[in-house]
A and B are shown apart, each in its own frame.
Chain A
Amino acid sequence: MTTDIRALLLVPPAAELPEGKALPISPALLDVAGATPLQRMAERLTRQSANAAIALVSANAFPQSCAVAPENLEYRLASPRQFWRAAEDVFDEMVQAGAEQILVMSLGQYAEVDIDGLVRFHLERKGQVTQVSHGADVLDIFCVSGSRRNDAAVLFRSRLAEDRGHCQFFHHDGYVRPLATARDLRQFAIDILTLKTETQPAFEQIRPGVWAGPDALIEKGARVLAPAFIGAFAKVRAGAVITRCSAIEHHAEIDCGTVVENSTVLPYSCVGAGLDLAHSVVGTGRIDNLRRNVIAEIADPKLIHYVSPASFGRLRRSAFDFVTYLPRQAWRGLFGTSQPQPVRQEPQPRPASPAGPAREMEPSAEFPANLAVVRRYGHQ
Chain B
Amino acid sequence: MDTNSRPVVVKRMPARVDARTAREFLRDVQPFLTIDRPQLVFDLSQVVRLDAAGVEMLLHCMSQAHRRDGDLKLASLSAQSAVVLELTRTERLFEIYDSCTDAIRSFSGFLPNAMRLQLLDRRHPPTATAA
Contact = CB atoms under 8 A, between A and B. Distances in A.
Interface string A154-182: 00000000000000000001111100000
Interface stretch (B23-31, B75-83, B123-131): B123-131
B52 A183 contact: no
Given A176-B128, A223-B93, A205 B110 contact: yes
B66 to A, nearest CB: 6
A295 interface: no
Interface stretch (A19-27, A84-92, A186-194): A186-194
Interface string B19-56: 10000000000000000000000000000000111001
Given A198-B130, A379-B52, A209 B124 contact: no
Nearest to B88: A378
Given A175-B129, A379-B52, A208 B93 contact: no
Interface stretch (A64-72, A143-151, A237-245): A237-245
Contacts of B115: 226-227
Given A244-B117, A244-B118, A245-B117, A197 B95 contact: no
Contact of B117 (A134, A187, A194, A379): A194
A198 B129 CA distance: 9
Contacts of B93: 223, 225, 241, 243
Interface residues of B, number: 31
B130 A243 contact: no
A208 B127 contact: no
Q: Is the interface of A mostly helix, strand, loop or mixed?
A: loop
Nearest to A262: B119
Interface in B78-126: 92-95, 106-113, 115, 117-121, 124, 126
10 contacts: A175-B130, A183-B120, A186-B121, A187-B121, A190-B121, A196-B126, A198-B130, A223-B93, A225-B92, A378-B52
Interface of B: 1, 19, 51-53, 56, 66, 92-95, 106-113, 115, 117-121, 124, 126-130
Given A190-B121, A378-B52, 18 more contacts: A135-B127, A173-B128, A174-B129, A175-B130, A177-B127, A183-B121, A183-B124, A190-B119, A195-B112, A197-B130, A198-B130, A208-B1, A208-B108, A209-B106, A209-B112, A243-B92, A245-B119, A379-B53
Interface of A: 112, 134-135, 173-177, 183, 186-187, 190-191, 193-198, 205, 208-209, 223, 225-227, 241, 243-245, 259, 261-262, 279, 290-291, 378-379
